[in-house]
Amino acid sequence: MKFSTTAIHAGNEADESTGAVSVPIYQTSTYKQEGLGKHKGFEYARTQNPTRIALEQNLAALEGGKACFAFASGMAAINATMTLLRAGDHVIVSDNTYGGTFRLFDKVLKNFGIEFSYVDTREPQNIEDAARAETRMVFVETPTNPVMSLTDLKAVSEITRRRGIRLVVDNTFMSPYFQRPLELGADIVIHSTTKYLNGHSDSIGGAVILNDEEDIKQMAFIQNAAGAIISPMDSWLVLRGTKTLVVRMKQHDENGRVVAQFLSEHPRVERVYYPGLKSHPQHELACRQMSGFGGMISFETGSLENAKRVLEGVRVCTLGESLGGVESLISHPATMTHASVPVQERNRLGITDGLVRVSVGIEDVEDIIEDLDQAINEL
C-alpha cells in the first residue's frame, strides 16, 4: 500500500461489534474478565487499550517500523527511549536539539549516571570522534530546531551500524511523509505527535517507533512499567490527524517554500533558515534526504526589539509555542522554546535575540505573506 492509503487504513479497521468506521474511543480503565485467567487480551488500560493500539499500528506503518509505542507527550516518548540505557552509558546528541530534550538530558538524566556529549552532527566525523567504548546511542534531530541544520542520516547510520550503537532520530519536523529515518538506517524514530501528526493544535502526545526485537520487548515493558501512556481521547485525535497528514504536509510544504522565498527577498530580513532555499548550506543534502521541505522557517530580524515588533505586529499568524498545526504560529526561540539553553550556547548556535521562527500553516499563503510583510515593514 502507498503512503496515503496506509495513513487512512492502517490500524483503522471497522469496529467488529458495530461496524463503526471510526475507531471508538475506549474510555475505560479495566475490562471484564470471563473467568480467572480468561479474558479477551485486555486486562488493564495502562497495559492495553484498543484506541491506543490502533494509533500505534497506524504510526508503525507510516514510519515503516515493526512496532510503535505511544506516550503522553513527546518528552515522555524521549524519556522512555532513554530508559533503554543504564548508568555509565554515553550518548552523542545533536548540539542544537529541541530545548526540552536538552533540559531532560542535562538537568534530569545526567543525575542518573548517563553521560551526554553535544556535537555538531552536520559533520558525521564529529560523531566518530566523540564515540567511546561506552557509547550506546546517537540522538539526532534533523532538521534541527530552530536553525534548520541537517544531519546526513545515511552517513551517520554507517558509523552507528559499524560500532553497534543505536541511532535515534526525532522526526517531528518532517513527519514520515517527507523523511524516512528507518529506511536511511536509523534504529528508532521519535515523534512529538503534538505537532504535524496530530496537526490541529488540540492534543499532546508522543510516539516511539522501533525495529529491533530486543528493544521492542524492552520498550513494551517500559511503557507499562513507567506508565506514561497517551489517553484514549488523544490516541483518537492523532489517529484522526494522520488520515489527512498527506494533504496537510503537501500544503505546509507548498506554503513554506513561498514564504521562505518571500522572506529571503525582503530587504529588512537579514537571513532566512529553510532547507528548501538554494542558499541553505545543506540544500543538496535536503534534496537527497527529504522528499519535501515542510513549513518550518526561521529568520533573523537583527535585534530583540525588531523581533518583538514582528511577533507583536502579526494578525494572521498567532504568537505561541508549538508548531505543525493548520494555523500559522510565530515564536521567539531565545525566550520561548530555547530559554533553558545558556545564552553563550544560544549565540554560538545562531539562536540570537533577533531570531524569529514561523510554523507556516495551511491558510491561504497570500494572507500569510501579507501579514508577515506588514509586520516586518514596521521595522
Residue 79 near ligand PLP by CB under 6 A: no
76, three cell numbers: 515522555
Residue from 124, 206, 232, 294 touching ligand PLP (CB under 6 A): that is 206
How many other CB atoms are found less than 10 A from the CB of residue 321? 12
* Angle in degrees, 0-180, between the axes of helices 365-376 and 245-265, rounded to the nearest 10: 30
Q: Would you call 288 a catalytic residue per the annotation?
A: no
Residue from 94, 172, 223, 235 touching ligand PLP (CB under 6 A): that is 172
Residue from 95, 170, 187, 234 touching ligand PLP (CB under 6 A): that is 170
Residue 75 near ligand PLP by CB under 6 A: yes
Considering just the CA atoms, what is the radius of gyration of the chain in Å? 21
- Helix (H) / strand (E) containing 90: strand 90-94
Long-range CB contacts (within 8 A, 24+) of 290-293: 290/174, 290/178, 290/179, 291/177, 291/178, 291/179, 292/174, 292/177, 292/178, 292/249, 292/250, 292/253, 293/178, 293/253, 293/256, 293/257, 293/260
Which one, 11 or 99, has the nearer CB to ligand PLP? 99
Active-site pick, 152, 170, 234, 353? 170
Residue from 7, 60, 148, 204 touching ligand PLP (CB under 6 A): that is 204
Which one, 170 or 371, has the nearer CB to ligand PLP? 170
Query: CB of 105 within 8 A of CB of 79?
Result: no
- Fill in the amino acid letter for 38: K
- Least distance (Å) from ligand PLP to the CB of residue 190? 7
- Least distance (Å) from ligand PLP to the CB of residue 195? 6
Residue 146 near ligand PLP by CB under 6 A: no
70-90 burial, b if ≥16 CB within 10 A, otherwise e? bbbbbbbbbbbbbbbbeeeeb
- Least distance (Å) from ligand PLP to the CB of residue 222? 17
Binding segment for ligand PLP (CB under 6 A), chosen from 14-22, 95-103, 290-298, 350-358, is 95-103
Residue 74 near ligand PLP by CB under 6 A: yes
Binding site for ligand PLP (CB under 6 A): 73-75, 98, 100-101, 141, 145, 170, 172-173, 192, 194-195, 204, 206
Which residues are known catalytic residues?
46, 98, 170, 195
